[in-house]
């Protein structure tokens, strides 16, 4: 049996956390390939090493002095090394990193050093071999992840090793420069490694006891989801449930490897199993709730728009030409709404409005900003009547005005648009009606 285990930043933020990680790994012989993140926050107001590296590199890139900031990063590692009593010095590595900062090796290189250095420390602590992710994870010239080249190199290299530590978050470009995944990308590395070694399971260790039904920063003590399908998870991650990087399911999904989300601080909890499909009936009608702020709706009105052939295409063409992708597009007989990310839309606003006037000659265009979208996701919604009605009742009860509703054709999700100021209240009220009231 082979398990790939990924540990997030807070799981490796201090020597104390390293010890918990060591205990977890040693508890099962199958935990052979380990993917660490950079040291994260030790307490709420602490700074992640990744953020310290970005800030430090930004100074370096401006030609400013960054000695003090760099010293603080060194301290984070040296503290862990000395408290663990390791016979290891990173001084040579630190000098290399520093000269590469001065030589403007790039922001991605800078950020990647967080996991690289932590990987060296963890490998020394465990007595495992260290494998630089730059040697086995590849991107193409255009910066896309290169799955074929990676799969070949990673399985060739790792199959020769009984046990190894592979730092998360980065890989290399064809010209040998370092490139990272987007933030939270160590989850993706774990998934790639799991596929490469054909693992039986990919354990993703974090600071909560599984994928929770709602964001714990909004709902107090939400219950964990026992089993969730890849599809449901994708909907929730895409809509902002930050536990697992939204791209982390692709490599394992293809290989049929389940992911188990676990808590480093509560290793006895069984966490959440993420699987391709399951006959297990969910405990509640909904599997989870997630949401994001920062959307704008563009409402386009024109009499008889439905009779005008190609109207929708001409509307979307304007967005496409301006490089804006849309999130949702609910429509009525004489109205059509396009929902976009506010920060992408704002700089292009006037071009888009004039483009719409030219392309479809609307009677009116109206823009609403500061919208939040909430996704209510669940494989059981299909077979339970009245889900939308219950959502509306909950929102009405919480005095939340619903701006938009859109049900995905798979009946796996219902998307609700509310004003940003109502976002938290809306999530809480949906959690209450489907979970608290059903207990």
**Contact range with ligand ASP by CB under 6 A, out of 129-137, 182-190, 197-205, 291-299:** 182-190
Q: Does 50 bind ligand ASP (CB under 6 A)?
A: yes
Q: Whole-angstrom Cα distance, residue 76 to residue 14?
A: 8
List phi, psi (to 5°) of 81: -60, -45
User: Structure tokens of 5?
Assistant: 């285990």
Q: What are phi and psi of 368, to 5 degrees?
A: -120, 130
> Total number of residues binding ligand ASP (CB under 6 A)?
14
Contact 349, 355 (CB under 8 A): no
Q: What are the tokens at 30?
A: 């199958």
Give yes or no for residue 299 binding ligand ADP (CB under 6 A): no
> Across-strand partners of 295?
341, 371
Name which of Mg ion, ligand ASP, ligand ADP, none residue 211 binds, using a CB cut-off of 5 to 8 Å depending on partner kind: ligand ADP
**320: number of Cβ within 10 Å:** 12
Residue nearest to ligand ADP (CB): 8
Select from 36, 106, 168, 291 the one that contacts ligand ASP (CB under 6 A). Answer: 168
300-317 as b/e: b if 16+ CB within 10 A? bebeebeeeeebbebbbe
Give the nearest distance from C-beta 116 to ligand ASP in angstroms. 11
CA dihedral 195, 196, 200, 204 (to 10 degrees): -60
Of residues 90-149, those binding ligand ASP (CB under 6 A): 114
| Residue placing its CB nearer to ligand ASP in the complex, 183 or 361 | 183
Candidates 145-153, 202-210, 328-336, 412-420 — which segment interacts with ligand ADP by CB under 6 A? 202-210
Round to whole Å and give the CA distance between 434 and 195: 36
Among 64, 160, 217, 399, binds ligand ADP (CB under 6 A): 217
Among candidate residues 57, 55, 63, 67, the one with its CA nearest the CA of residue 101 = 57
133 or 430: CB nearest ligand ASP: 133
Given its phi and psi angles, is residue 422 left (phi above 0), alpha (psi -120 to 50 degrees) or beta?
alpha
Of the listed pieces 115-123, 136-144, 239-247, 379-387, which binds ligand ADP according to CB under 6 A? 239-247
Q: Does 210 bind ligand ASP (CB under 6 A)?
A: no
- Measured over the CA atoms of residue 387, residue 392, residue 398 and residue 403, the dihedral's sign is positive
Instruction: Evaluate the CA torsion angle 339, 340, 345, 350 in order and state its sign.
Output: negative
- In the bound state with ligand ADP, the residue whose beta carbon lies nearer, of 171 and 184, is 184
Radius of gyration (C-alpha) of the chain in whole angstroms: 24
Q: Which is nearer to ligand ADP, 37 or 296 (CB)?
A: 37
Taking CB under 6 A as the rule, does residue 39 contact ligand ASP? no
429 binds, among ligand ADP, Mg ion, ligand ASP, none (CB under 5 to 8 A by kind): none
Judged by beta carbon, residue 119 or residue 282, the one nearer ligand ASP is 119
How near is the Cβ of 295 to ligand ADP at its closest, in Å?
18
Binding site for ligand ASP (CB under 6 A): 8-9, 37-38, 48, 50, 114, 168-169, 183-187
Binding site for ligand ADP (CB under 6 A): 8-11, 37, 40, 184, 206-208, 211-212, 214-217, 241-243
């Amino acid at each position: 049996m082979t398990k790939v285990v990924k540990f997030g930043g807070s799981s490796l933020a201090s020597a104390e956390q390293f010890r918990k990680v060591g205990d977890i790994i040693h508890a099962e012989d199958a935990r052979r390939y380990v993917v660490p993140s950079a040291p994260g926050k030790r307490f709420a107001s602490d700074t992640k090493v990744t953020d310290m590296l970005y800030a430090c590199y930004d100074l370096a890139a401006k030609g400013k002095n960054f000695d003090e900031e760099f010293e603080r990063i060194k301290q984070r590692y040296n503290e862990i090394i000395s408290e663990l009593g390791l016979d290891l010095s990173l001084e040579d590595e630190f000098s290399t990193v520093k000269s590469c900062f001065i030589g403007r090796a790039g922001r991605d290189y800078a950020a990647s050093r967080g996991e690289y250095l932590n990987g060296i420390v963890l490998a020394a602590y465990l007595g495992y071999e260290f494998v630089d992710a730059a040697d086995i994870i590849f991107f193409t010239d255009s910066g896309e992840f290169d799955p074929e080249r990676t799969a070949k190199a990673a399985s060739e290299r790792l199959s020769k090793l009984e046990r190894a530590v592979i730092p998360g978050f980065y890989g290399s470009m064809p010209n040998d420069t370092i490139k990272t995944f987007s933030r939270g990308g160590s989850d993706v590395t774990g998934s790639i490694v799991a596929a490469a070694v054909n693992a039986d399971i990919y354990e993703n260790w974090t600071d909560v006891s599984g994928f929770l039904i709602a964001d714990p920063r909004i709902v107090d003590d939400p219950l964990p989801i026992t089993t969730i399908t890849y599809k449901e998870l994708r909907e929730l991650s895409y809509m902002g449930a930050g536990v697992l990087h939204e791209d982390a399911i692709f490599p394992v999904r293809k290989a049929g490897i389940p992911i188990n989300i676990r808590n480093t601080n509560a290793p006895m909890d069984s966490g959440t199993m993420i699987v391709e499909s399951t006959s297990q009936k969910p405990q509640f009608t909904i599997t989870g709730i997630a949401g994001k702020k920062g959307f704008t709706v563009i409402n386009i009105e024109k009499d008889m728009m439905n009779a005008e052939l190609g109207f929708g295409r001409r509307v979307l063409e304007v967005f496409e030409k301006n490089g804006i992708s849309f999130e949702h597009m609910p429509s009525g007989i004489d109205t059509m709404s396009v929902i976009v990310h506010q920060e992408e839309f704002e700089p292009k606003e006037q071009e888009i409005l004039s483009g719409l006037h030219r392309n479809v000659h609307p009677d009116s265009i109206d823009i609403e900003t500061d919208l939040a979208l909430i996704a209510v996701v669940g494989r059981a919604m299909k077979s339970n009547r009245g889900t939308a009605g219950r959502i509306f009742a909950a929102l009405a009860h919480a005095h939340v005005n619903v701006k938009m509703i859109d049900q995905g054709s798979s009946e796996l999700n219902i998307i609700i648009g509310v004003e940003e100021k109502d976002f938290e209240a809306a999530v809480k009220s949906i959690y209450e009606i489907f979970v608290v009231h059903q207990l």
